[in-house]
């Protein structure tokens, strides 16, 4: 595909780039990209945004989930959630209007069956990464209770 005039020469390289960009934008506007068809789940809802990790089997009652002690809270959440039949957390950040580096964060965990769970909000955390890490620590405490409810033990092992 050739954009612009193949036979026209430009005095400077910058002018050629500008004209090529204009021609490309005209072509894109004339030929808009079509939206990809999103597959529907069997229930008819579009659950594509839910982050279930692969085909990890749910831990049966009486089993043990082992997690290395050196892993970060975010990694622990990503290891434990699928084994309890939960999606990875969907973090929602809200920035403070007066202090741009202060965040309120909430996480939503979706179950394979049943209602989703909201953890948070955790308010007034400095920095987005710090807010996510602190909420991951709260999620781990909630996952401990959820594992106990499902009669599964979470074991922190030294490696």
Q: Which residue has the tokens 């074991």?
A: 155
Residue 55: other Cβ atoms inside 10 A:
6
- Quote the percentage of the chain above a pLDDT of 70: 81
> ω before 121 within 30° of 0 (cis)?
yes
Residue 44: pLDDT over 60: no
**Per-residue pLDDT at 41:** 45
Global pTM?
0.63
DSSP run (H or E) holding 90: strand 90-95
Q: Which residue has the tokens 């999103």?
A: 38
Helix (H, G, I), strand (E, B) or coil at 92: strand
Most confident of 52-56, 57-61, 154-158: 154-158
pLDDT tens by residue, 13-40: 888 888 888 888 888 888 877 765 555 4
Number of residues in the chain: 159
Q: Report residue 89 as tokens.
A: 């957390």
Cα atoms found within 13 Å of the Cα of residue 144, Cβ hemisphere only: 9
- Alpha-carbon distance of 102 to 127, in angstroms, equals 6
Report the DSSP beta bridge partners of residue 93: 105
DSSP run (H or E) holding 137: helix 128-149
What's the CATH class of domain 64-157? alpha beta
Query: In the chain, what's the furthest Cα-to-Cα distance?
Result: 76
């Amino acid at each position: 595909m050739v954009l612009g005039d193949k036979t026209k020469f430009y005095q400077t390289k910058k002018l050629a780039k500008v004209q090529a960009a204009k021609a490309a934008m005209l072509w894109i506007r004339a030929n808009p990209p079509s939206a990809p068809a999103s597959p529907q789940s069997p229930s008819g809802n579009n659950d594509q945004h839910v982050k279930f990790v692969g085909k990890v089997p749910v831990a049966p009652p009486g089993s043990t989930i082992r997690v290395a002690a050196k892993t970060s809270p975010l990694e622990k959440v990503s290891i434990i959630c699928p084994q309890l039949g939960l999606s990875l957390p969907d973090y929602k950040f809200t920035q403070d209007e007066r202090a741009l580096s202060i965040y309120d964060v909430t996480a939503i965990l979706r179950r394979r069956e049943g209602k989703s769970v909201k953890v948070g909000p955790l308010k007034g955390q400095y920095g987005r990464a710090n807010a996510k890490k602190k909420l991951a620590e709260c999620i781990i405490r909630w996952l401990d209770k959820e594992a106990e409810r499902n009669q599964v033990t979470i074991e922190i092992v030294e490696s």
